[in-house]
A and B are shown apart, each in its own frame.
Chain A
């Protein structure tokens, strides 16, 4: 039997290529994931300990003032302490306002606690000196000797850039580094990661602080564990996509085996006639599958290792960072990847091999073609109906209860039902589409439809793989588009005004006209105001939102039309929330006590109704201009242009465009990543379609020859196969898009409805159309190779084919 096994492997190698490619891609995916996570883990944990190198203990759980007190206390005792933390501040380089807030931190005062690597210049040693992170320096175009102004209002620090530094990726780096003395300016808003402490007093730190004191080594270990967990979560998420790709591989491989064995039924039967027992044949084909599994899995591991190394090399080269270490994944990853490949292939081959060896010896004696027609079994249909109904019930339950678990279970069960019902549903859909194809493509269209539906189980299996990919892609696209919609609405609430210029002195009258004339500005309004005092707090610029303010705002922010007796203050302006929820404003002796609302996104000013302002002062002057940007406007350019107007007018510009752009970019990246990862499964599915077509062509050699003999031209034969490929891929895609949309709707009702009242489902028409078009083209492309083979065979040779 070994001779037979080896000979079959030799003979059928080419027909196994598609199945092997599917396994290779899946296994390589797992290996690359393992390599990336191992390398990320080593790269990130390696640098985690850097900031704590010189410390004896690490204190966490402190706020800014506490941290400052501890540092001062340490200095008083002759110990060393430094704050690792950051605050987000506005920054101006030269006169230029940076579009986004920057992060600001401090270097340790004592050299032994300094850990940043200096690339150029030196670390700040005295007040009014600042160092800049090399990456931030690049994006913000800051160089040595530049003057930087950080902060806004009365909390600003002006400093000269004395150095460029690099921070290890996993360490808490900031864009700008001041001395701690300068950072104390922002101590109220300082986000303290930890305070590192060294010296004889380290043992008694716990007595002097409310924070948690941990030995430095233990802290590093804890942080490393955190990072590792983060990387592991990421790896697990990647593996979900790998699992999807592998599931699609199972479908493709099982289909390949089924078709191949159907074609070789006569070989098997002949073997049985000359004395092979059923077990011998079964063992032989299983060994064949095992050989394929081994070769494909090993190839996958090798390919994955090469690809992983390439990705790591590219990342380390292009990103000036040591995010990725050089560590290789543990042997367990490789074993797991290899085992996955083996199991996937063998599982996929199990049923087809069983079916193949059930062949009865007599069939070898039949001179006719092996009948490859199959139908959907009744058991299968019954199971499918039950699964579909049960899954839908679970989905309904999920929507009612807003629980994720029944949603996932319902999704999986109902989709399984759908796949089981494939042999009934898919041919029906193909027939429907085929009616159109026949009208458009004539005879080839009719033949193609007939070919596509003659073996319902094979057709269903072929389309199932693509269906999985398209359904998931569609659901993700719709889900992300809908979340984007929701997020945008939220952003409108959070950042109601794109750009504001606010001043504590009257603004020139022509400023509004200049702002309106700036390219990228859609509309702008000037807000009258005055300088007021919040009783018990301090001065604030008071603005009145006139009628028409709504026009320049996004969404229906309350700040655009404060009610009588209401005032809107920026978050964080009040250090303490008044007990009765009311504040008193005073302008030159006139006071008004107003109910307090807070929010952000309109600059450093209090906003009241025009009537309230009028009651407080008779002499209001223009104090602010609010502008709305064009949706396509470049955030940085526009902020720069308006800043050029604001600075001479003595106004402070605040732009929320950067934040908006950032969120947009995040969503774009997320969409691209998920679609890209799902794309792998789709590619495997398309290889599967090409494979089915190719094998069907082999099988139908005689038929195609007969058609050619009867007068079908080469072009028509080519069209027949192209239409068949197109029918299969389009039916799978259209069904997938519809089903995916349904799942997205369920997910939205289940998960997002809880968070917001109206989670509207947004259909990204262009993206969905793109999915259909790409799948259609890929279906056409998958017919190219089989077509070449089919038309090359001369009719006479084809008729004589065995």
Chain B
């Protein structure tokens, strides 16, 4: 599913382009009705290039999480089209969506990433086990590679409660990567971590893009975290404000500041 892309790709213009991991067109999402209606997304058009580390930024309530949930098939948009790994999500029933996620999507959440009763190793292979895949051959190689890249070899037997916050997030990243998904969504993965652990986790996410060729989309509101990303999508009031490719620190700050001054 993964495609290796040139180091400086231009965002693909058309949906379903081989270089595009996920696409949204005219995406809206309304929570509630009537007076209580909240327009979380108001028509988002977005192409997320494959093999890149994209950060989605924006102030609270800008629709970051909703956008991610819709792209990941966790939430159903009110209107608009979502395509991930070349497949349109509209019209899939719950089971089809689940199977789709299992095959093509990885998740890293802010907190409560791991099942507390399973060991780190068991958590990592959980998606494989759910899909009924055995830990042999290429799957085993992939698993070992991911575990080694994330430095978890000697932590596999530990329970989540016995791991530090940074280690827990590394386990979560390993779990997200082990199935070689078309796209990995990370929702504020460093929100609960101190700066050292944050740097470590972000470093691993970037390595997974560089060394394993994964596509990672990270929702964050931390400028430091966004600095690790290749591209930055700035969201405001439920719409895409800017889509920066390889921004410099100054460009990024300007984009966000412009956003705030607006």
Contact = CB atoms under 8 A, between A and B. Distances in A.
Interface of A: 1-4, 7-8, 10-12, 266-267, 270-280, 361-362, 364-365, 367, 802
Contacts of B78: none
A275 B116 contact: no
Interface string B63-75: 0010001000011
B101 A367 contact: no
Interface of B: 65, 69, 74-75, 94-95, 98-99, 101-103, 107, 109-113, 115-118, 122, 125-127, 129-131, 175, 179, 187
Contacts of B131: 275
Given A7-B122, A275-B101, A361 B117 contact: no
Contact of B187 (A8, A277, A280, A365): A365
Q: 9 tightest A-B contacts by CB?
A: A275-B102, A11-B117, A7-B117, A277-B98, A275-B130, A276-B130, A275-B127, A274-B127, A7-B118
Given A7-B115, A7-B117, A362 B94 contact: no
Given A278-B98, A365-B65, A365-B109, A271 B115 contact: yes
Contact of B111 (A3, A8, A802): A802
Contacts of A12: 117
A1 B129 contact: yes
Contact of A3 (B103, B126, B187): B126
A4 B115 contact: yes
Contact of B118 (A3, A273, A275, A365): A3
A367 B127 contact: no
Given A271-B115, A275-B130, A364 B102 contact: no
A7 B127 CA distance: 16
B74 A365 contact: yes
A278 B93 CA distance: 11
A279 B112 contact: no
Given A12-B117, A267-B117, 7 more contacts: A2-B129, A4-B118, A274-B175, A276-B102, A277-B99, A364-B109, A802-B116
Contacts of B126: 3-4, 271, 274
A465 B69 CA distance: 42
13 contacts: A4-B129, A8-B117, A266-B112, A267-B116, A270-B112, A270-B115, A271-B115, A274-B101, A275-B102, A275-B179, A278-B94, A367-B112, A802-B111
Select the residue from A270, A279, A364 with max chain B CB neighbours within 10 A.
Answer: A270
Contacts of B117: 4, 7-8, 10-12, 267
Nearest to B106: A274
A275 B181 CA distance: 12
Contacts of B112: 266, 270, 364, 367, 802
A266 B131 CA distance: 20
A368 to B, nearest CB: 11
Nearest to B125: A3
Given A3-B129, A11-B116, A367-B110, A272 B69 contact: no
Nearest to A276: B130
A275 B99 contact: yes
A1 B125 CA distance: 10
A583 B208 CA distance: 118
A274 B122 contact: no
B115 A362 contact: no
Nearest to B160: A802
Contact of B107 (A8, A274, A276, A277): A274
A271 B114 CA distance: 9
A313 B62 CA distance: 76
B110 A273 contact: no
A9 to B, nearest CB: 9
B237 to A, nearest CB: 22
Nearest to B102: A275
